[in-house]
Chain A
Amino acid sequence: MITFKRDKKEEEDGGGNPFQNLEKTTVLQEARTFNNTPVNPRKCAHILTKILYLLNQGEQLGTTEATEAFFAMTKLFQSRDVILRRLVYLGIKELSSLAEDVIIVTSSLTKDMTGKEDLYRAAAIRALCTITDSSMLAAIERYMKQAIIDRSPAVSSAALVSSLHLTSVSSDVARRWANEAQEALNCDNVMVQYHALGVLYQARKADKHAVIKLVAKLMRTSPKSPYAACMLIRMAYKLLDEVDEGEELIGFIESCLRHKSEMVVYEAAHALVNLGRSGAREIGPAISVLQLFCGSPKPALRFAAVRTLNKVAMSHPAAVTACNLDLENLITDSNRSIATLAITTLLKTGAESSVDR
């Protein structure tokens, strides 16, 4: 069956990589097909894929070329083919920085983002926000606020992430949409929770007291999303540098050492050992966790642990000594980065006995 498939493919493509010998000019010429009515979804999707592939390979398009391709692409909005539409969104995003007058698709995208199909809406929001400039922002604001509190996680996440990107267009976007983000924070979806926290932090990061309030509130409920939890740990860690009273914050980070996600546990351990002020007592539990990770079957986890220990060994060599045996095991690790880190760490903890071995 596989050989049969191959043969057929090779007949179609002339063998090898169908995208290998694409010529920019030829492909752009082909893009004129987009102007034909009715639209042939399969053919157009294939041509659009070729354009996207060329851009991805690093091919440079001039402003005129890009603008022409962009305008041809806008004709594809006539088709209702799902894949083609999604590729058009992708094309809009890729060409938005190269072509001129890209705001021409604003109304088409606004229509899609308020339409019925969730799959369109999320992607349309993201495409729309890449072409939005400060003058257009007011026009889409109402839709964005609605999208943030949408019941579909995809739509809500798309709107939240887009508002983070829009900060570069207008710095107070996040603040203006903070109420909606606050509501999205209660969402059950792990990604929405994470993105909402990102927007809220963006909105308040200039105001230390607002951040303290936000962190304090979340510490009590402890977010379910591991990504949000990692972010909260980072926020708490940063606050510790700025405030004098940090018992609660440290307590929270320590409690994260018992989180069920390894990602969060590592983030917490990493934060604890890097705290400038902490003494051997505070980093003790974190070191034990890292020691445990040294024996993990996952290379990424061993790497993360030994890299962190390597850094701690500079400031608290005595605390790391407890891990010497585990580190010695890692000297022969199949991952050379891990082995190297283990050796340098051992050199810093300075136990002569292990150096001899």
Chain B
Amino acid sequence: MAILDNDGNRILAKYYDKNVFPTSKEQKTFEKNLFSKTHRANAEIIMLDGLTCVYRSSVDLFFYVMGSSHENELILMSVLNCLYDSVTSILRRNVEKRTVLDSLDIVMLAMDEICDGGIILDADATSVVQRVALRTDDIPLGEQTVAQVLQSAKEQLKWSLLK
């Protein structure tokens, strides 16, 4: 599972099989290769190095889910959709590099909730988000700084206007 930016650099990536690309160098080579094959063609699915890779992009981000070539493509697709939808919902629809980096902690937690050591843990974006996106609601007001309170108030206002 990987999220790359529009230069093919890694934002987050997780490899679950120690036998496939064991070193970080091999992983990055693979990512570069994958990116060069996919960043122009909006084709959703590709075979590369004996792996089935499904992908989709948003603004300046690319989301990938890789699996063995024996794996059911639609299962991989369901994981990809879950990843994408969870991130979308965590970032309140502004899915781009900057917002991902701003909420990197939550996105990391979400990836952790989707897949555990190569086994799909949850493929339902709503429940993934429920399990990780606990930010504003759970922190007592006293612990937030004035700026954060203003920020969250602004966010809420913005979304209530946009609805």
Contact = CB atoms under 8 A, between A and B. Distances in A.
Interface of A: 1, 9, 17-19, 41, 45-46, 48-49, 52-53, 56-58, 60, 81-83, 86-87, 90, 93, 119, 122-123, 126, 154, 157-158, 161-162, 164-165, 190-191, 194-195, 198, 227, 230, 262-263, 266-267, 270, 298-301, 303-304, 307, 334-337
A161 B112 contact: no
B104 A19 contact: yes
A17 B101 contact: yes
A300 B108 CA distance: 26
30 contacts: A1-B154, A18-B101, A45-B105, A49-B104, A56-B12, A56-B13, A57-B24, A82-B134, A83-B106, A83-B138, A87-B105, A87-B109, A119-B131, A126-B116, A157-B121, A162-B116, A165-B116, A191-B122, A191-B123, A195-B119, A198-B119, A266-B72, A298-B44, A303-B44, A303-B73, A304-B74, A307-B73, A335-B44, A335-B45, A337-B43
Nearest to B118: A165
A260 to B, nearest CB: 13
B14 interface: yes
A303 B45 CA distance: 8
Given A56-B108, A304-B73, A337-B47, 8 more contacts: A82-B134, A83-B138, A161-B116, A194-B120, A227-B75, A300-B73, A303-B73, A304-B74
B163 interface: no
A22 B50 CA distance: 34
Contact of A49 (B72, B108, B127): B108
B125 interface: no
Given A56-B12, A335-B45, A41 B143 contact: yes
Given A90-B109, A154-B131, A161-B116, A300 B45 contact: yes
Given A161-B116, A337-B43, A227 B105 contact: no
B41 interface: yes
Contacts of B27: 58
A335 B138 CA distance: 45
A46 B42 CA distance: 35
B102 interface: yes
A290 to B, nearest CB: 12
Contacts of A41: 143
Q: Which 8 A-B pairs give the minimum distances between C-beta atoms? A: A58-B24, A335-B43, A299-B44, A304-B73, A263-B74, A49-B105, A300-B77, A303-B45
Q: Is chain B's interface secondary structure helix, strand, loop, or mixed overall?
A: helix
Q: Is chain A's interface secondary structure helix, strand, loop, or mixed overall?
A: helix
A161 B121 contact: yes
A248 B105 CA distance: 49
Q: Which one of B42, B54, B109, B138 has the highest number of Cβ atoms from chain A below 10 Å of its Cβ?
A: B109
A270 B72 CA distance: 9
Contacts of B139: 81
Contacts of A49: 104-105, 108
B76 to A, nearest CB: 8
Contacts of A53: 104
B149 interface: no
Given A126-B116, A263-B75, A336 B131 contact: no
A27 B75 CA distance: 38
Nearest to B24: A58
A203 B96 CA distance: 44
Nearest to A198: B119
B28 interface: yes
B46 interface: yes
A208 B46 CA distance: 36
A83 B116 CA distance: 19
B122 A336 contact: no
Nearest to B27: A58
Interface string B24-57: 1101100000000000011111110000001000
Contacts of A93: 112
Given A58-B24, A87-B109, A300 B74 contact: yes
Nearest to B103: A49
Contacts of A300: 44-45, 54, 73-74, 76-77
